[in-house]
Structure 1
Amino acid sequence: MMLLEIGHALWGETTRVADAIALAPSPEPAPKTINTDGILQFFTTKIVPILLAALGVIFIGRASKGEVSRVLTSSAIAIIGLAFVAGAASLFFFGDSLVKLLFN
């Protein structure tokens, strides 16, 4: 008889613990973040060299055909374009500090 009472007591405790676990709020998953550093590193190490190599092949091909003036014009446009890209990248990295400098 005493063993039966101990069994009922233990069963009651385990059901209360199970109910408490079931009613406990489940943790929400952490918000997903985008690895911008990895994306930027991928573009600078993989994409940009391929684009520069393609420009070089185009320029060498035009220069070998005797279109030196077009090559110089295209080279100047490419250099100006790279300057704009470098300016945009610098704003990407230093924009926060510039805004704090101007508005604080």
Structure 2
Amino acid sequence: MLRTALHDIAPMLAGAEADINTKGVIDFFLSKIAPILLGVLGLIFIGRANKGEISKVMTSSAIAIVGLAFIAGAVTLVFLGGTLVDLFFTD
């Protein structure tokens, strides 16, 4: 019975195209998730600064800024990746 059901469903699954809206996923992350994460990070930094742990706040802030720079570099490479591949590997 299960084998018959899988046999009937397999052609439909093989012909289905998996289109993922990557632009929508990125837009959702940038508009909804990133501000929340940055807000939480800001609250943690403010809480630590109020306790007098300024050196830890500065270290954490520097790590966060370096992390954002890495993310920005990765996003830049994603957008420029197609152009670089075409530049180096086309006839």
Give the TM bin, normalised by the shorter chain.
0.7 to 0.9
Deviation at 1:94, TM superposition (A): 1.1
Moved over 6 A (4+): none
Q: Does 1:40 align with 2:34?
A: no
Q: Normalized against structure 2, the TM-score is what?
A: 0.77
Q: For residues 45-99 of structure 1, what are the alpha-carbon distances to aligned partners after superposition, in whole Å with 9 as ceiling and x for unaligned?
A: 0111011101100000000000000000000000000001111111111111112
Q: Which has the higher contact order (CA 8 A, sep 6+)?
A: 2
Q: Normalized against structure 1, the TM-score is what?
A: 0.68
Deviation at 1:30, TM superposition (A): 5.6
Aligned residues: 77
Aligned to 2:43: 57
Larger Rg: 1
Structure 1: gaps spanning 5 or more residues: 1-28
Q: For residues 16-50 of structure 1, what are the alpha-carbon distances to aligned partners after superposition, in whole Å with 9 as ceiling and x for unaligned?
A: xxxxxxxxxxxxx6623111111010001011101
Aligned to 2:8: none
- What is the root-mean-square deviation of aligned Cα atoms in Å? 1.6
Q: Does 1:70 align with 2:56?
A: yes
Measure, in 1, the Cα distance between the counterparts of 2:18 and 2:60: 42
